[in-house]
């Protein structure tokens, strides 16, 4: 019983001190408790502000037997987004190279984007176009503070996106294809012309001697 009395006395003293502090500051007990709780800080994470981009490199290769240095520029490639149907266009340079750069932002986190890549048949004379179609999947995720894109091409995970399209060039109607830049005449033809010219000079010289 004595211990219980002492405990009650202590609780009454503590309550009195708290009430006196509340009155002295011109507030109530509820206000005092609220002010005490407001000292606890709460962390609210901000919005993620991250961006990344994926490069899709294309190589155009032309097979043309007997012809060197064909220009591989001006071939057209189509990248189609299967979600919204948008089609993006890129053209090859004189080395046959083309590039797509696909940007992503924090709004794309957790999404997977699917594309098809193919060459457009522009019906350039003498060319057989590639019918190859690449299937591409790009999944965007957040790792730490970085936006990361996981790449899959034709159902195989890859580190980077590269594609090759091979065209074949052929001549129309069995005609001989045009020679490459520079003089490509047959050396035997030159030798034959030299021999004929020498023979003609010898005959002319002999005739002049007969008439002299």
Do residue 88 and residue 144 come from a single domain?
Answer: yes
Record the pTM.
0.59
Which residue range(s) make up the domain with 26? 2-37
pLDDT score of 50: 75
C-alpha to C-alpha distance for 70 and 113, rounded to whole angstroms: 36
Do residue 55 and residue 33 come from a single domain?
Answer: no
Q: What is the pLDDT of residues 57-79, one digit of tens each?
A: 999 999 987 777 788 999 999 99
Do residue 70 and residue 147 come from a single domain?
Answer: yes
| Residue indicated by tokens 């350039």 | 124
Do residue 16 and residue 73 come from a single domain?
Answer: no
Q: What is the CATH number of the domain that holds 92?
A: 2.60.40.3050
In a domain, 118, yes or no: yes
Domains held by the chain: number: 2
Distances (CA, A) of 207 to 193, 194, 195, 203, 211: 21, 20, 19, 6, 6
pLDDT score of 201: 62
Residues of the chain with pLDDT under 50: 2-5, 8-10, 14, 17-20, 22-23, 29, 32-33, 36-46, 48, 173-187, 189-190, 194
In a domain, 113, yes or no: yes
Do residue 71 and residue 163 come from a single domain?
Answer: yes
In a domain, 56, yes or no: yes
In a domain, 30, yes or no: yes
Do residue 12 and residue 85 come from a single domain?
Answer: no
pLDDT score of 174: 43
Do residue 59 and residue 121 come from a single domain?
Answer: yes
């Amino acid at each position: 019983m004595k211990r219980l009395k002492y405990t009650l006395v202590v609780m009454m003293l503590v309550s009195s001190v708290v009430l006196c502090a509340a009155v002295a500051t011109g507030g109530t007990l509820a206000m005092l408790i609220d002010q005490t709780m407001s000292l606890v800080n709460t962390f609210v994470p901000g919005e993620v502000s991250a961006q990344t981009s994926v490069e899709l490199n294309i190589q155009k290769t032309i097979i043309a037997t007997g012809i060197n240095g064909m220009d591989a520029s001006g071939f057209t490639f189509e990248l189609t987004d299967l979600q919204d149907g948008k089609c993006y266009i890129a053209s090859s340079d004189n080395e046959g190279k083309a590039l797509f750069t696909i940007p992503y932002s924090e709004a794309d986190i957790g999404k997977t984007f699917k594309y098809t890549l193919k060459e457009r048949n522009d019906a350039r004379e003498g060319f057989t176009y590639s019918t190859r179609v690449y299937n591409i999947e790009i999944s965007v995720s957040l790792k730490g503070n970085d936006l990361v894109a996981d790449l899959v091409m034709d159902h195989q995970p890859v580190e980077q996106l590269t594609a090759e399209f091979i065209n074949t060039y052929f001549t129309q109607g069995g005609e001989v294809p045009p020679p490459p830049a520079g003089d490509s005449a047959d050396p035997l033809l030159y030798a034959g012309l030299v021999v004929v010219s020498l023979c003609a000079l010898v005959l002319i010289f002999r005739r002049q001697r007969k008439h002299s």
